[in-house]
Amino acid sequence: MTDLQLDLDPTLGKRAALEAALRDAIRNGRLVAGQRLPSSRTLASDLDMSRATAVAAYGQLVAEGFLLAEHGRSTTVADVPNPPPPAPMRHPFWTTPRFDFRPGEPATDSFPRRDWLRSVRHVLQDSPDDVFGYADPRGRPELRMALASQLGRSRSVLCSADSISVVGGFASAVSYLAEVLMKQGGSIAVEDPMLFLHRDLLELAGLKVVPIPVDGEGIIVDRLDGLDVGAVLVTPAHQHPVGATMSAERRSQLVAWARETDTWIIEDDYDGEFRYDRKPIGALQALAPDQVIYAGTASKTIAPALRLGWLVLPEGVRRAVQRQIHIRAGVSTVDQLALAHFIESGTYDRHVRAMRANYRDRRAEVVERLAAVAPWLEIVDHPAGLHLTARILDPAVDEDALVAAADEAGVGLVGLGICHIDPTTATHRGLMIGFGRPAQHNFAASVDALVEVLAAFR
C-alpha cells in the first residue's frame, strides 16, 4: 500500500486540495501507473478529513481518468501519458558557453591577482584596528580621496571626497537611486534599448520606466520634451547596448533639458575607461556637476567579483541617497581599502592601460574576421568598451534564430532584442559581441568558432 505524502494547498478547500495534489503527483511521476492507493478511509484519517471528502476526490479523479476503481479492489493509478516536460527557460547568463562572447564581463583570466593580493596584504598588515569596525556608510575616506583624484584625472569628473559614496557596484546603486526616486514622483526615463537587468531593478522598486529611443548619437533628447520624470538614466560613453557615444550636441541638449525641468541625470559610466581610437571622452558630469549623478564601477576595469562601485552625488540629492546607503550599508572595508591602495600605488592606471591595449587587439581581430565572413552584419563603428555591436542588415536574418544557432555550436552571444522595452520602436536588430570574456588561451579558437557559426548561417 502506498504511503502517500501529499502537500495540500491550504488556500483551497479540502476536496479541491486533495484532487490537485493527486493530479500533480500523477503528472510529475511520483505516483506511477498501477500503483495502489490507500483506502478512502485510511486516506481520510491520515489527512484529517471526512471519508466522504476522500471518496468524492477519488471519484472525481476516476472520472477524469487519473485513477481506476474496480469494485472490491483498491483504487489504482491509471496510465496517464506524461505531458512533455516544460521547455527549459532560456536566459543568456544561466550557462557558460565554451566560446563565450556574451557581453558584460572583462577578461577574468587577467585579474591582477598578485597586485590585488599585495593591496589586501597591505591593508591587513598596516591598518589600525578601528578599520575592522563599522565604517562610514559613505565609504572609507582613503578610498573616497583616491577616487576623487582618479576620477578627475581619468574621467574629468568634478568631485571631492565628500561628494562620493562607495556602493556595491552599479546594480546596488540603481536600487538606492530608485528608492529615492520613488519618494520623488516614481518615474524615470531610460534609454531604449538598455541593460535588461537595470530595467528589472527599477521596476522592482516600483518605478514607472519611460523608454526613450536612441540613435547613433545616443538618447534622442527631443523625445524627453513634456515628460515629467524624476530622472533620466543614460550611458553616454558607450550606449548600452548599441554602442553609440553621446555626441557633444546631445550632451548639451540633455543638460539644458535637465536644468530646465529640474530632473536628475544618472550617468552610468560603466566602461568609459576603454576607448580605442582616441583618448577616452570625459564624463557628461563635468558639464553639470549639480545636475548629474555620476556612477562608476570596478566591474570592467578590474573585476565584477569585487562588487565595488561609486557614486558622485550632487548636493541636492546627496543626503537622500546617503540615507538609503546607510540603511543597507554593505561594502567590505577591507576591499575598499585594498582598492584605495591599488589606485594610490599606480597599479589601477597600469592595469587599465594594459587591458586597454589587450581589448583593442581583441576587438580589432573580431572586427576584421567578421567583416570578411558576414557582409550581412554591420559592425557599429564605436571603438570603445568591452563589447561591439553588430547590426543585422538583412531583414531575412532572424536575430533569435542566429543566437540559437550560435548556442548550438557552443558560441555564447546575446541579441539586442532582450534589451528593447517598447516593441513598437524596436528598430535595433543585431548582436552584442563581448570580446572581453574568452580566456586569452582560448581567444583564437573562440573567434574561429564565432566566424564558423556566422559563415554557416543564412
Ligand X SMILES: Cc1ncc(COP(=O)(O)O)c(C=O)c1O
Residues of this chain that bind ligand X (CB under 6 A): 104, 169-171, 195, 235, 240, 268, 270, 297, 299, 304, 309
Contact present, 50 and 13 (Cβ < 8 Å):
no
Residue 81, amino acid: P
**Distances in Å between the alpha carbon of 204 and those of 112, 201, 297?**
35, 5, 22
In angstroms, the CA 397 to CA 457 distance is 9
Contact present, 144 and 157 (Cβ < 8 Å):
no
Residue 387, amino acid: H
In angstroms, the CA 234 to CA 244 distance is 11
To the nearest whole angstrom, how small is the minimum distance from the Cβ of residue 183 to ligand X? 23
Give the nearer residue to ligand X in terms of CB position, either 196 or 376.
196
In angstroms, the CA 217 to CA 246 distance is 5
* Residue of this chain nearest to ligand X (CB atom): 169
Cell numbers describing residue 280: 577616452
Give the nearer residue to ligand X in terms of CB position, either 38 or 385.
385
To the nearest whole angstrom, how small is the minimum distance from the Cβ of residue 348 to ligand X? 16
In angstroms, the CA 362 to CA 356 distance is 10
To the nearest whole angstrom, how small is the minimum distance from the Cβ of residue 100 to ligand X? 14
Give the nearer residue to ligand X in terms of CB position, either 38 or 97.
97
Give the nearer residue to ligand X in terms of CB position, either 298 or 453.
298
In angstroms, the CA 398 to CA 63 distance is 46
Alpha helices in 28-182 (DSSP H): 40-46, 51-64, 113-126, 141-155, 169-182
190 SS3 class = strand
- How far is the first Cα of the chain from the last one, in angstroms, to the nearest whole number? 59
Among 360, 414, 363, 382, which residue's Cα sits nearest to residue 215? 382
To the nearest whole angstrom, how small is the minimum distance from the Cβ of residue 190 to ligand X? 11
Question: Using DSSP, how many helices (H) and how many strands (E) does the chain show?
Answer: 13, 16
